Amino acid sequence: MTDTFMLAHLSDPHLPPLPVARFRDLAGKRALGYINWIRNRHKYHRREVLDALVADMQAQRPDHIAVTGDLVNLALEAEFTPAQAWLESVGTPQYVTVVPGNHDAYVRATRHHFSGAFEKYLQGDAEAAGTPFPFVRRRGPLALIGVSSAVPTPPLMATGRLGRAQLDALDRELAQLRPNEAFRVLLVHHPLQSTSRMKRLTDSKALHAVLKRRGVELVLHGHDHVHSTMWLEGADRQIPVVGVPSASALAHRHYPAAAYNLFSIARDGGKWHCVQTVRAIDADFRVKQIKQATLL
């Protein structure tokens, strides 16, 4: 068996605290989001939770870290500099890969700020500059494929969309990546299946078709703020699709406390092996293992 590569995955830090907003910034959708933050979300998205989780993750010494979006909350201009500083504290672009979430593209006026602030963290190996999606980053035995489902939506909506151009480009990229050459990990913010009309990936069926035709070894996402594992039909095997809770959340209602995933990946002859370990924070802000499962 080859040496084990350790991939960490966290999502939806919704970096607190929210900076003071100017009145002119709170038109339309942002006004509702700001009220929701003041009344509710600030109570359970906590910086001390996020810091404890990240410290534990770094102590595990993963080979690479994937962050699947929603670093900010309302995509206020004042949110991006603190979020950039936080991501730099997590790791350098060589060791951290990020894709955007719907909150990172909350409104049209600032939807492109994410790509500018985090360009080096979502730049493919073949790209000299710019941040097109999808991108591919080779790290050890992994090929990390990042796509963006982040699009501005009307108030009360949190849907995502890849679009035909991105789906076609993903199909071409996967056609060139063979499973015997790399352990292919697709990073996307929205889950590939959702029962919520307001939170779903609207072109998920088209993405399913690409993955059924080309296959990947693992899909990682966020958005729902819950633990989840589903299985999707791939080219030659079932594909595990794994979601994770918000990295800054206290347990509330049906949402679990903050957690992250570790994936131990190795190749034995012609077969990939992948074991998932879930580490979550408890009421005393201690992070401990709560689950381990063999995915491949």
pLDDT digits (tens, 9 = 90+) for 35-71: 999 999 999 999 999 999 999 999 999 999 999 999 9
Query: Residue 195 pLDDT more than 80?
Result: no
Q: What are phi and psi of 25, to 5 degrees?
A: -85, -10
Q: pTM here?
A: 0.96
Average pLDDT of the residues in 208-221: 97
DSSP 14-61: --SSPPPPPGGG-STHHHHHHHHIIIIIHHHB-HHHHHHHHHHHHHT-
Question: Is residue 48 a part of any domain in this protein?
Answer: yes
Query: Which one-letter amino acid corresponds to residue 168?
Result: D
Question: Is residue 77 a part of any domain in this protein?
Answer: yes
Q: Which domain does 175 fall in, by range?
A: 5-14+24-294
Tell me what pLDDT residue 180 has. 86
Helix (H) or strand (E) segment spanning residue 90: helix 77-90
> At a CB cut-off of 8 Å and minimum separation 6, what does 52 contact?
281, 285, 286, 287
Tell me the C-alpha to C-alpha distance, in Å, between residue 150 and each of 39, 45, 99, 160. Answer: 25, 21, 9, 6
Question: If pLDDT is split at 50, 70 and 90, which confidence band does 127 have?
Answer: low
Choose the weakest-confidence range: 18-27, 226-235, 254-263: 18-27
Question: Is residue 205 a part of any domain in this protein?
Answer: yes
Tell me what pLDDT residue 53 has. 98
Report pLDDT digits (tens) over 90-107: 999 999 999 999 999 999
Report pLDDT digits (tens) over 141-169: 999 999 999 999 999 999 999 999 999 99
Choose the weakest-confidence range: 128-132, 206-210, 226-230: 128-132
Specify the CATH number for the domain of residue 29: 3.60.21.10
Question: Is residue 19 a part of any domain in this protein?
Answer: no
Question: Is residue 123 a part of any domain in this protein?
Answer: yes
Tell me what pLDDT residue 293 has. 97
Report pLDDT digits (tens) over 232-250: 999 989 999 999 999 999 9
DSSP state of 121: G
Tell me what pLDDT residue 129 has. 52
Question: Is residue 230 a part of any domain in this protein?
Answer: yes
Question: Is residue 203 a part of any domain in this protein?
Answer: yes
Domain count, the chain: 1
Tell me what pLDDT residue 131 has. 55
Question: Is residue 87 a part of any domain in this protein?
Answer: yes
In 3D space, the residue among 274, 2, 249, 220 whose CA is nearest the CA of residue 97 turns out to be 220
Query: Which one-letter amino acid corresponds to residue 89?
Result: S
Report pLDDT digits (tens) over 251-260: 999 999 999 9
